[in-house]
Amino acid sequence: MLPPKALFETLSNQASRLFSGETSLPHNELESQLKMLLQSAFSKLDLVSREEFDSQMVVLARTRARLEALEAKVAELEDRLAGDTAEPPL
């Protein structure tokens, strides 16, 4: 994977070549080539889609809620255990 600076320089150079007077491509062809160029550049980065990000946020929120519930339960059990050991046996 290229470092971000090198990736954007390469992307910029290729885009400049596309938009220079060297090509006589119609607007639609130019747009599709630029789109392919950007998709190629983004695929080399470590990016996630918005859908994946949102689903992971839901998973994280659910996990956080379960962790808080378990922490409360452990605290309750510790309190009960401490209460049992504080009383002298009969």
Q: Are residues 54 and 27 in the same domain?
A: no
Same domain, 63 and 86: yes
Indicate the pTM of the whole model.
Answer: 0.50
Q: Can you tell me the distance from the alpha carbon of 21 to that of 55, in angstroms, rounded to the nearest whole number?
A: 45
Q: Are residues 38 and 55 in the same domain?
A: no
Same domain (yes/no): 41, 61: no
- Asked whether residue 89 carries a pLDDT value surpassing 60, the answer given is no
What is the sign, positive or negative, of the torsion defined by CA atoms of 80, 83, 85, 87? negative
Residues 3 and 33 in one domain: yes
Average pLDDT over residues 77-84: 90
Q: Identify whether the C-beta of residue 55 lies closer than 8 Å to the C-beta of residue 39.
A: no
37 and 58 within one domain: no
For residues 28 and 34, give the distance between their C-alpha atoms in angstroms, rounded to a whole number.
Answer: 10
Report the pLDDT averaged over residues 24-32: 71
Domain that holds residue 65: 48-90
